[in-house]
Amino acid sequence: SWIALLGVAIYLILILHGYDRADPGWSQSGNGIGSPVHNTGGRMGAWLADLLLWLFGISAWWWVLFFLFAVTWGYRRLDVAGMFDRRPLFVSVAGFVTLLAASSGLEALRLYTLKAALPQAPGGMLGALVSENLSIALGFTGATLALLVLIAIGFSLFTGLSWVRFVEKLGGVIEGSYFFIKHRWQDWQDRRAGAILAIKREELVEVGRKRFEEHPP
């Protein structure tokens, strides 16, 4: 759910920032049927951005903060548990289907120049169907964002992986590695300083010995 909410927040940023009064939307028809859409979020993004700005003005940007707050609220309610959860069979199957369709769509949308021996273009027929419809509705960038979100959700449903717990584990590994390297560096500096001091002590002892030999008591 928090991945979907984060995707919605990013999509709202895209469509509100890319708003163009020439695009067809809620309050105007644009430059006519078939005219190009300038909004990054496609026709749906242009229509939704026009509606939000028509209703709320610049205050429509508060909706972005609302969805980001919903993400943080869900994160605070997360219970400490393992990185993987058990899933019912139908949930795993639904996640696999979502993952397969979104991956094919992203392959057709972004990896169409991939040099591979395939009977169809990258992504196959399913990828072409998904990418074509999504790019028309959400635009090239919006469709890419939607497919990435669907891949993350589908993989989580299929495997039971919690992305939040995965990030927490990854952060723990990075933090532990940082302190391990830091302590190793400090130990090496201490040993180096000790070796330098030992050399200086030996030099002082040698100077004292020569002075004793040249000027005995």
pLDDT means per 10 residues, the chain with 217 residues, are 86 89 76 71 86 83 85 66 72 88 89 71 86 87 90 87 82 93 91 85 76 67
Closest by CA to 160, choosing from 75, 98, 84, is: 84
Q: How many whole angstroms separate alpha carbon 136 and alpha carbon 131?
A: 8
Residue with tokens 């949930």: 91
Q: How many whole angstroms separate alpha carbon 170 and alpha carbon 130?
A: 33
Residue with tokens 């790019």: 135
Give the C-alpha distances (Å, rounded to integers) separating 56 from 32, 53, 61: 25, 5, 9
Which residues, at least 6 apart from 158, have a Cβ–Cβ distance to it below 8 Å?
87, 92, 95, 96, 98, 99
Q: How many whole angstroms separate alpha carbon 24 and alpha carbon 46?
A: 7
pLDDT of amino acid 215: 67
Handedness of CA 159, 164, 168, 173 (dihedral sign): positive
74 close to 5: Cβ distance less than 8 angstroms: yes
pLDDT of amino acid 32: 58
pLDDT of amino acid 39: 83
